[in-house]
Structure 1
Amino acid sequence: MSTHAARRVAPRSVRVAAAALVATLPLTAVAVNYGGTTPVASADEAAVAPAEVNPAFATQADAEANSYVPEDEAGWRQWVYRQADETNEDGTPKPDGGKAGERYGRMEELAVTSPSMGNRQIPVVTIRAKDNPKDAPTVYLLNGADGGTGRANWLQQTSALEFYGNEIGNVNVVIPMAGAFSYYTDWEQSHPTLDKDGNDVGGKQMWETFLTKELPQAMEGSNGHFGSSSDKRAIIGMSMSASSVLVYGEQNPGFYNAIASYSGCPATTGVAEIGVDQVVQRGNATYEQMWGARGGATALRNDAQVNVGKLKDQQNIYISAGTGLMGEHDVPSGDRLRGNPVGSITPAVEGGVIEGATNVCTHTFKAAAEKAGVNHIEYNFRNTGTHQWGYWQDDMFGSWPTIARGLGFDETQAVATRDKAAATYLDNNQGIGNAGSLPLLTDAFQQAQEEQAAANGEQ
């Protein structure tokens, strides 16, 4: 067990209320070091060995036999492997072939061994570029609080596979599928459960080391897994990892050609610690296990707002936040809920509070960035929108011109790709329109009245 006892978790109602309190505080109260003029030094840049990439699993059965990922944490596999035989009704194979359990064409599940984390094996899903894979840059997608181990990951909640793999087509994509409640940071202390893979192998979590040093060395370059000659890379984070990717840019200057941060709270010290607590406590961990003393050197180093001045030379940054008010993806008639009125409760209540808090955080960060002379960040402040994947999918499309510019692609073409992809998604996910929302509830109420009247008439 850790030398620090796990902090008692407050009731959910108290935690939600606390998050709401953060959203109501004055902008200057959300974090310490508001001006961002005292950046904290980067960690010692010692040489780090690359991760070891094991051969891709040929089938889902092979991956499951390894057991390095608990089966209940690998729901994303259905997007990596075929779920049905791809044959015609007469039994003849379809043109692209394939049987249940086999990998889809350019996708792979890789067990990647991290030296810094005690040879723990990390599940990493990759999508190889369709066009010019040997000259394609790399895009890293980080998941949110559960690290992709639940349903909340890029494969299950967005059209990332279609967008990056086909509509863009000329980028290699890397998606780690672990790291729950870790902030993708290097931890100060070991944790009895969060450190381990499914085979109970692993040491202290060292996610920044893995994601900024070990994994890129293994994936990129002519000798890397993709065998690409490109030295360009971008990283995208959402929710928990939205602050992490900004820290990576600050503490690894010049490493990324583009960074996108969706719905995060860049500040993680001072009053903003309350949001960090809510995340790590879900993993039965504490802030101190992760970063040591509150307000200490490690905690300050991992606060993106404190170190915002380090982004002066970082180009192609996209940051987004909604207001917390319900928008098009939150209503029963929309593309996400498709007629489920009960489904609006979570985004309206919990998701609205969280996004309202991130909106305050992001405005505070913007003010701190401008005070520090960092004026080139592209912000997308939506008038509506809660803390949920529908808006991060919008951001995936919306940030592509910024990402593309950093990766050396034509920005005009990137805008066209963005617009076409967004239109295609809406065409394929139109929701139920007037059949949902209030009309749906009205119809249900009317049907209940008619059934009651009929029952009374029979008595």
Structure 2
Amino acid sequence: MNKRAIARVTAAAVATALPLSVMSVLGTGAAFAGEAQPVSAPADSGDGRPASDYRNTATVNTPFPTRAAAEGANYVEESKAAWRDYLYQAEDGSNEEEGTSWKAGDRYTRMEERMVHSKAMNRNIPIVTIRAKEDPRNAPTIYLLNGADGGEGAANWLRQTNAIDFYGNQIGNVNVVIPMEGAFSYYTDWEQPNETLDKGGNTQAWETFLVQELPGPMEEALGTYNPNRSIIGMSMTGSTTLVYGEKYSGFYDSIGAYSGCAATSGEMARTVDIVLDRGNATYEQMWGDRNGKVARENDALVNAADLKDQKNIYVSSSSGLMGEHDVPSGDRLNGFLPGSITPAVEGGAIEAVTNACTHMLKSTTDAEGITQDSNNLVYNFRNTGTHQWGYWQDDMFDSWPTISEGLFPGNGAQAVEQRDAGKADYLEKNPGMGAKGSTPVSSLLPITDAVGEALAEQNAEGNE
């Protein structure tokens, strides 16, 4: 039996052994359009990669100057664009930057919203960028993928982490690109249409968009001459980035996969069903037969041997046991005891599954000789932690030396300093409540409607 077959048998065994309780939780638009300046990648990309990588190109429009202009374009449902709160100053001035003369509704410094048209999907997609503050024309590019809701709800990098500050200010010399659409898509090319998720366009083709259509035009629009790029995903997209690393080895100079399950076909397709069910979609619509060719091609565990040509890979998982970000005394809950319920029950079970997946991946890559010494493949297994953003923000810091090695080769010492400084700054600003947050349960009983509403809000915001 070959190593890929062994990996599949192992995945099936783990899926069968997992209890069912765990498996089950797993200006005006018209005026602005006239100003759009589409760009496309040149025939010679200049970055050492074949021109065929850019054979399909997206249309990248100029940034919207104000929130009113973005809303006037009417290309994103307003109910799914709460992320705009982090790009534009509020009309009431409540989130104005100190010491600026900017007007309410203007973009924040170096934050951009761009409408990008995908030819493959025939739809317009919102992209948020964080421009480098230091030498932006020589800055590499990081592509950040949101999790299951694609950034369309509360669970996105802008709202749940300090990515804007870390990459935009503390690192400062990288451009960041964040697609703010693609809920429940796995950012893959789908086999069949889905009326809801296609959003009036063609069948979803996210892999084509992100790998073939977007990078050349987007990086040209950002004005960078630096050919280095990284891609980072978490939860649903932690699986995606591994698949991209296997299919397009070297296209990304470093890869981050936080709390993703590498095994997605065969028996392990049940973990994928949990995500797709939330989008009223089916596995068969996405990849066809669960044991078929397309499903296997998109299973990162089955194809783990193909990581041999990919460098600078960071993979993480927590254990599923409650940790520092799950307790009321920590930095995320600010003393709100009921907020621990979702991480303890749902987030713990989901992370236990991803932990098993990640250990299977490590066993396979070890057997293939794909290690830290050969590929700078770094695994981070945390003894505690659930499936939630507090740990993915930790990964953002902890993965930086690995990600940075692809973007700035030989810059390891500075990357470690930046990682540690980012952590320290966050903890200083978000120390948690310590003993003050250890509120006795009896003091919260009976739980009122107000607390129930707060719990619902916490659950919506705290998890992927």
Instruction: State the one-letter code of the partner of 1:97.
Output: S
Aligned to 1:59: 66
Equivalent residue for 1:148, pick from 148, 151, 176 = 151
RMSD between aligned residues: 2.3
State which drifts further: 58-67 or 68-77.
58-67
Distance in 2, matches of 1:19 and 1:408, equals: 44
- Indicate how the Cα distance of structure 1 residues 94 and 147 shifts in structure 2: closer, same or farther if over 3 A, else same: closer
1:10-409 matches, cutoff 5 A: 18=20, 20-21=22-23, 48-83=55-90, 95-118=99-122, 120-196=123-199, 200=200, 202-220=201-219, 224-376=220-372, 377-409=377-409
Cα distance change of structure 1 residues 321 and 417 upon mapping to structure 2, 3 Å threshold:
same
Structure 2 counterpart of 1:142, one-letter code: L
* Aligned-partner Cα distance in 1 for 2:440–2:328: 9
Deviation at 1:48, TM superposition (A): 2.8
Letter of the structure 1 residue corresponding to residue 181 of structure 2: A
Equivalent residues in 2 for 1:423-434, closer than 5 Å: 423-434=424-435
Distance across 1 between alignment mates of 2:396 and 2:148: 18
State the Cα deviation string for residues 37-59 of structure 1 (Å, max 9, x = none): xxxxxxxx786321001121111
Q: Is 1:401–1:414's contact at 8 Å kept on the other side of the alignment?
A: yes
CA contact (8 A) 1:329 1:385 kept: yes
Q: Give the secondary structure class of the aligned counterpart of 2:348.
A: helix
Q: Is the 8 A contact 1:333 1:431 kept in 2?
A: yes
CA contact (8 A) 2:23 2:270 kept: no
Superposition TM-score, scaled by structure 1 size: 0.83
The amino acid that maps onto 2:401 is P
Q: CA shift at 1:443, angstroms?
A: 5.2
CA 1:444–1:232 in structure 2 vs 1: closer, same or farther (change >3 Å)? same
Distance (whole Å) between structure 1 residues aligned to residue 125 and residue 365 of structure 2: 34
> For the residues of structure 1 that align with 2:95 and 2:227, how far apart are their CA atoms?
43
* Distance across 2 between alignment mates of 1:337 and 1:291: 38
Q: Secondary structure at the match of 1:185?
A: coil
2:4 matched to which residue of 1?
A: none
CA shift at 1:441, angstroms? 3.3
Q: How big is the shift at 1:293?
A: 1.2
Q: Does the CA contact (< 8 Å) of 1:88 and 1:94 recur in 2?
A: no
Q: How many residues align?
A: 400
* Deviations 1:363-387 (CA, angstroms, capped at 9, x unpaired): 0111111122222320000000000
User: What amino acid sits opposite 2:254 in the alignment?
Assistant: A
Contact 1:236 1:261 in 2 (8 A): yes
Give the SS at the match of 2:315.
Answer: strand
Q: Structure 1 residue 96: deviation in Å?
A: 2.5
- Quote how far apart the aligned CAs of 1:17 are: 6.0
Rg bigger for which structure? 1
After TM superposition, the structure 1 stretch with the greater mean CA deviation from structure 2, 278-287 or 94-103, is: 94-103
Give the secondary structure class of the aligned counterpart of 2:256: strand
SS in 2 for 1:425: helix
CA distance in 1, matches of 2:381, 2:54: 39
Larger RCO, structure (CA 8 Å, separation 6 or more): 1
Is there any run of 5+ residues in structure 1 with no aligned partner, and where? 1-15, 25-44, 447-459
Q: Structure 2 vs 1, CA of residues 357 and 204 (structure 1 numbering), >3 Å: closer, same or farther?
A: same
